[in-house]
Amino acid sequence: MFFHILKPIWKRKFKNLLLSLEILLAFCVVFGLALMSARYFQLYHLPTGFAYQDVWSVSMLGTGEADTKNDARVTENFQRSLAAMPEVEQVGFITHSPYSNATWTTDFYLPDSNFRYSIHMAEMADETPGLLKMKLLEGRWFSSEDEGRAERAIVINKKMAELMFPGKSPLGQVIADTESGGKNIKLFRVMGVFEDYRNKGEFMAPTTFAIMRYSKATGERRMETALVKVKPGTARAFEEKLHQQLKLIRSDWGYKISPLADMRQSKMTEDTIPLVILAIMAVFLLIMVGFGLFGVLWQNTTQRIPEIGLRRAIGAHSGHIYQQIVTEQLLLSSIAMLVGMVLLIQLPLTGVLGESINWPIFMTATAISMAVIYAISTLCALYPAWRASRLSPTEALHYE
């Protein structure tokens, strides 16, 4: 049966070429949208590694270069004064807040190897991992007992542990970092392994991550961000009271206070803008392709009226004509999508986009794209096919 349907498609190959290109373009655009949507869906359901509920971020903006240096008395004053507020449960310090766009990367290497690993970094005080409810898989978090040791305490995520220490425990291992210029080698001892920390939110791809211990007593630079864990149900009006308390500590500094829940919502909106733009483009393209398909199918069925009349005269009933028109369109769409698949399957095979395209995402995007194109092709073919099936043999054979 398919051979008989392919024959008329092949005879009109030049007319069908432009139509096939339109379908191919639509398939690629829908595939891109489905691929991005599937990736976002997959990332959204992965653990971020921290809890944002009832946590507020306080950015402490100094007045000059002198304010970037750490003052243990000022840091301790912030800790005590904020923790003493009845609405506050816990206070911790961190280099950059979750859901911010800040990125800190450095190159770590093993002392007996020159191979370097690019790692995302953050620096936290002893209280911060517990404040964020980060999940520890093995070992322990850094604490005051790590103060004064030759190697600075560090904890790494599971992905980094598997990359740098395959097949063995990373606990107690020493890793190194060299400052720019090749001098001042810094050594770190791995104290624990945590699950993950996707600090940029739900749509951040999993990556290697390490967290260094920040010492409030001996740290060279002060922390410019404090995380404040408030009691559940604390109203947004608490922001004014918190700001006043901060001004009592350092009146010459500026402060930016934001609940992590609000920062999360803003970050998710920002991250989904490309997806929304692509979705709008895809909708307009599909509308144009749909109109194009409908027009071409209408013209084709009009030009084929004598052929349809001959089929009706030799015994084909209206259902056969209806089925033939729809099946031809679906087969033409399948050929165009097959060409697209030959090109697109190179993405997961070559790994050109890394972990962004894995086989589950690729297969999901393929299924969605094919379903959309088949649905549009079927809808566009329904009326021309119905119109052709309604022709009487006499009317069709006398058509000029």
- The CA distances from residue 305 to 2, 110, 388, in Å, are 21, 77, 7
Report the C-alpha gap between 351 and 344 in whole angstroms: 12
Which sign does the torsion angle of CA 298, 303, 304, 309 carry? Answer: positive
Report the C-alpha gap between 17 and 207 in whole angstroms: 44
Reported confidence tier of residue 8, pLDDT bands at 50, 70, 90? low
pLDDT of residue 157: 96
pLDDT of residue 20: 79
pLDDT of residue 321: 67
**What contacts 350, CB < 8 A, 6 or more positions away?**
none
Phi and psi torsions of 139, nearest 5°: 80, -145
Q: Rounded to an integer, what is the distance from CA 376 to the centroid of its chain? A: 28
Range of weakest confidence among 49-53, 254-258, 298-302: 298-302
Q: CB count, 10 Å around CB of 303?
A: 11
Kindly state the average pLDDT of the residues 200-225.
Answer: 89
For the record, the structure tokens of 185 come out as 């080698």
Reported confidence tier of residue 295, pLDDT bands at 50, 70, 90? confident
pLDDT tens digits, 26-79: 899 899 999 999 999 999 999 999 999 999 999 988 776 656 787 788 888 989
